[in-house]
Structure 1
Amino acid sequence: MHGRGESFVSGIAQGRSRDRAAPYFFLSYAHTPKNHPNDRDPNHWVEHFYRDLCDHVLQLTSLPAGVPAGFMDKQMQPGEGWQESLSEALSYCRVFVPLYSPRYFLSEQCGREWFAFTQRAVNHQSRGNGNSVSEIVPALWVPVPPRQLPQPAERLQFNHASFGDEYADEGFYGLIKLKYLREQYERAVYLLAKRIVRVAEETGLPDGDPHRDYLSVPSAFGPPGPARRMDVSVLACSSTELPDQRGPDCYGTHAREWNPYRPDSSRPLVEHAAELVRNLDYRVNVGEFDADAGRMLASGPPSAPGLLLLDRWALTTRHGRELVDRLCAEDRPWISVMVPWNRLDPESASREPELRDIADAALAPRQLESAGHRSPGGGLLTLEAFNQELPRAVEAAEKHYKAHARTFPPEGPSIPLPRLLPEGIGYGAEAPVRPVQQRTDEKPSTSEKGEDTPL
């Protein structure tokens, strides 16, 4: 039993520690609202499906007593503990199971769940443990046309027909509601459970941060319509052109190979950043600022928001400083600047005050928020700090881009706006406006007589 304003969740008890409650999978679904308060819970069949899926997972694994097979929120009301429960489940689950429906990709709640989980997967891949198998196993509640899928879902390329043609055509809702498809329903649920178990065993996803503020997590789903674009560019040194007192450990033959967070990360930072931006529902153009500057710094309205990853060491070179000076010479707030800085890098630590002053001087025109996003003065000291800052940098770039981008009026002839005329509302731009005459039986106001209006 639970009281008013409290949250009841299945799969993990509130406040439990990692070793006591770690759901095997997380079922993410969009709540269907009631048409009338007296109606039966419209999410009843989702819960029925969830219980069947948990039963199969329990049979297919050796989960010990007390360890839940899955997590599903049964009542998501603003109550004490529900945010913590969601954060814990998303940090500890092994597999993420989004339940597709037209309503799902319009839900900000579902978008947050998706991004929170995929951030774990991106970090796992950057630490050298990448796997070709995705930790996301989508399930169809109601089939969704491909054109309605956002970028993160479209890139999964999951073959739903492998669970049966009837399932691909009807989804679990159709199979569970139509009695003559009962056998197909049982088969599809069982195959989904097998897929979940296999993915969990092959990936071995490490835990995330259960103490992260869940409400600060952005949604992985952008607004309906054409896919959004984002330029992700890097300005960094290369191993063939290094300033004095800088070794080649963090660099490759090209600037795109810069990896400031090694050994914590094993892949270039621009690839890591681009993957996170893609999970925010953008089509990403990845490049080097040396080559991208002509396009990104062109005069006039911007063609896309941008994200610049800046290596402080590059500012000690003449060419690097000139590029940043060009960026800051005009207002370009739609390009957010992120400054990674590994506090465990001994070469960077020995010259930290000097390089910090150089970066502060180069980015001085961006002191105000209206000038565009920039990392804090001390830089982003860890990969975790970079991960938390990136959504804010992307949001700021998108906001400024919308404010400065060129707008295009709809096709067709323009229609004059309606005007308020003495005879009423109309379009009468050419209609003569007759002056309003004062009635003869009205007395002049005190203001017309030059008198003060009494208080």
Structure 2
Amino acid sequence: MTSRYYFYLSYGHSVRLRADDRPDTDHWAGRLFTELSAEVAKLTGAEPSTPVGYYDDLVRPMSDWKAELTGVLSSTDVFVALYSPGYFNKSWPLRERASFTGRFDGEADAERFVLPVLWVPWPRWEREAERAAALRLGAGIPEYAEEGLQAMVRLAMYRRQYRTVVTRMAREIVTAAAAAPRPGREAVAIDEVEVEPTDSTDIQFTVGVLAPSRAERPGGRAAAPYGSSPRSWNPYRGVQKFPIAEYVANVAERLGQPARIADRATDLLRLAEGAALVLIDPWLAGTTGGKERLRELAGRLPDWATVLLVADHSDPQYVARGARLYESVAATLTAAGVAQSRITLIVDIGRLVDRLPSIIDNACTVYRKNAPVFLPKGADSVLPRISGGEGSPDA
């Protein structure tokens, strides 16, 4: 049975700089969630073990984020939006909000169950309607309008004002939840929501997959990790049922990058259209034509693409043969011109979960630094030169 939540907390995720990093936005949003949950539980008399709220840090690793959050948003009474410049510049939080509000008849009806919060201030002349809506929560508290709630949760000097705002939030949530329709409509599937972030810095992120299908797997290889196509490949099937390419694409989208999956030869031509991360099953090297496919990939791989060889060290076949195939894949790629520094081996699901955000962020950073710059149509292809004064060689 699906739990019923009083509120869902939505915010724009930060970018991780290291694999073990938990950025400020994520940390302080989690702190607010914990304290707001305690306040709502106190007002409603909920048992300590009963969850009264939800935010996406509670989604189980390696699960289908989109499906799970769509279910949560369908069973949530109030949508708490932590507004910031990053909230409006990323498609993921806007899709969460659109998924929730799609349950109601029109904008006015939906607004009754959306609680906007000024998390990080932005210039008053931008998104004036959203700013005005978020400011109502902090009426009479000038620090809220000047600093935003994130600064207030961080700084001890604002502790009293912060507690006042959190109490107001809890009361508004409980009041709105009492009027929420039950049973409510299903939320719009996040996959079906289309929103356009403002001033977006999003780039296209392609998740390439090179893995055998179940029919193509090497002789003696277990069938369980494979499906009808490469994108069905799941090396950690013993832990969860979600294909790894879908999981990587989900994480990229939560970090603000529109993502797509390429698992066919024709699709892999699109790796050069944006940031790219290619997932390779080492067992591909043991298939008929597998090494040729690897050499073909190396010829198409843009300079900024990252290669991730993924295996499971707990797989009985990894020690027996999989480790040697990893070495074969790495040797084939490097011989074809792919630098060893661009190839990473992951053999543990926990390590993948921990490192993936930083791997994706790094892939996007490398793309921005190394991707070719295309001049606008009609622009002069000859770049201007700074000439010296009289007597210089260019004068």
Q: 1:124 to 1:399 in 2, by over 3 A?
A: closer
1:390 corresponds, among 356, 361, 366, to 356
Q: 1:140 to 1:396 in 2, by over 3 A?
A: closer
Post-superposition offset of 1:233: 1.5
Distance between the aligned counterparts of 1:141 and 1:330, measured in 2? 42
Indicate the residue corresponding to 1:33 in structure 2: none
- Asked which structure has the greater RCO (Cα within 8 Å, sep 6+), the reply is 2
- Work out whether residues 232 and 274 of structure 1, in 8 Å CA contact, stay in contact via their aligned partners in 2: yes
Indicate the residue corresponding to 1:381 in structure 2: 347
Indicate the residue corresponding to 1:405 in structure 2: 371
Indicate the residue corresponding to 1:164 in structure 2: 112
Post-superposition offset of 1:409: 4.1
Q: 1:194 to 1:29 in 2, by over 3 A?
A: farther
Post-superposition offset of 1:61: 4.1
SS across alignment from 1:261:
coil
Q: Does residue 311 of the first structure (1) align with residue 281 of the second (2)?
A: yes
- Work out whether residues 285 and 329 of structure 2, in 8 Å CA contact, stay in contact via their aligned partners in 1: yes
Indicate the residue corresponding to 2:173 in structure 1: 192
The structure where helix makes up a greater share of residues is 2
- Work out whether residues 141 and 171 of structure 1, in 8 Å CA contact, stay in contact via their aligned partners in 2: no
Deviation sequence 1:216-275 (CA, Å, 0-9, x none): xxxxxx995342111112111111222111121111111111111011111111111110
Q: Does residue 285 of the first structure (1) align with residue 226 of the second (2)?
A: no
Q: 1:29 to 1:284 in 2, by over 3 A?
A: closer
Distance between the aligned counterparts of 2:336 and 2:363, measured in 1? 13
Aligned AA for 1:174? Answer: R
- Work out whether residues 307 and 336 of structure 1, in 8 Å CA contact, stay in contact via their aligned partners in 2: yes
Q: 1:25 to 1:373 in 2, by over 3 A?
A: same
> In the TM superposition, what are the counterparts of 1:292-331 in structure 2 within 5 Å?
292-296=267-271, 302-329=272-299
2:90 corresponds, among 146, 150, 158, to 150
Distance between the aligned counterparts of 1:303 and 1:27, measured in 2? 30
Q: Does residue 355 of the first structure (1) align with residue 325 of the second (2)?
A: yes
Aligned AA for 1:243? Answer: P
- Work out whether residues 62 and 242 of structure 2, in 8 Å CA contact, stay in contact via their aligned partners in 1: no
Post-superposition offset of 1:57: 3.1
TM-score (norm 2): 0.60
2:41 corresponds, among 42, 57, 62, to 57
Q: 1:226 to 1:25 in 2, by over 3 A?
A: closer
Indicate the residue corresponding to 1:261 in structure 2: 236
RMSD: 4.9
Q: 1:246 to 1:223 in 2, by over 3 A?
A: farther
- Work out whether residues 236 and 312 of structure 2, in 8 Å CA contact, stay in contact via their aligned partners in 1: yes
> In the TM superposition, what are the counterparts of 1:95-114 in structure 2 within 5 Å?
95-96=54-55
Post-superposition offset of 1:319: 2.8
Aligned AA for 1:56? Answer: V
Number of residue equivalences: 304
- Work out whether residues 330 and 340 of structure 2, in 8 Å CA contact, stay in contact via their aligned partners in 1: no
Structure 2: 5+ residue stretches without partners = 1-6, 14-30, 102-106, 117-128, 142-165, 181-196
TM-score (norm 1): 0.53
Post-superposition offset of 1:421: 4.1
Structure 1: 5+ residue stretches without partners = 1-23, 31-46, 70-92, 97-116, 180-184, 199-221, 297-301, 423-428, 434-455
Q: Does residue 236 of the first structure (1) align with residue 211 of the second (2)?
A: yes
SS across alignment from 1:286:
strand
Q: 1:131 to 1:404 in 2, by over 3 A?
A: closer
Q: 1:121 to 1:314 in 2, by over 3 A?
A: same
Deviation sequence 1:317-367 (CA, Å, 0-9, x none): 243211211233477332211111112212233213422331231233599
Indicate the residue corresponding to 1:123 in structure 2: 61
Q: 1:239 to 1:152 in 2, by over 3 A?
A: same
Distance between the aligned counterparts of 1:195 and 1:358, measured in 2? 60
Distance between the aligned counterparts of 2:274 and 2:222, measured in 1? 35
Distance between the aligned counterparts of 1:138 and 1:166, measured in 2? 5
Q: Does residue 177 of the first structure (1) align with residue 139 of the second (2)?
A: yes
Distance between the aligned counterparts of 1:374 and 1:133, measured in 2? 37
Distance between the aligned counterparts of 1:125 and 1:292, measured in 2? 25
Post-superposition offset of 1:289: 4.4
Q: 1:48 to 1:172 in 2, by over 3 A?
A: farther
Higher mean Cα deviation, 160-169 or 357-366?
160-169
- Work out whether residues 207 and 260 of structure 2, in 8 Å CA contact, stay in contact via their aligned partners in 1: yes
Deviation sequence 1:22-74 (CA, Å, 0-9, x none): xx9989799xxxxxxxxxxxxxxxx999988854331224345xx9x9xxxxx
- Work out whether residues 232 and 284 of structure 1, in 8 Å CA contact, stay in contact via their aligned partners in 2: yes
Indicate the residue corresponding to 1:364 in structure 2: 334
Q: 1:397 to 1:243 in 2, by over 3 A?
A: same
Deviation sequence 1:267-304 (CA, Å, 0-9, x none): 111111110111121111112043423343xxxxx321
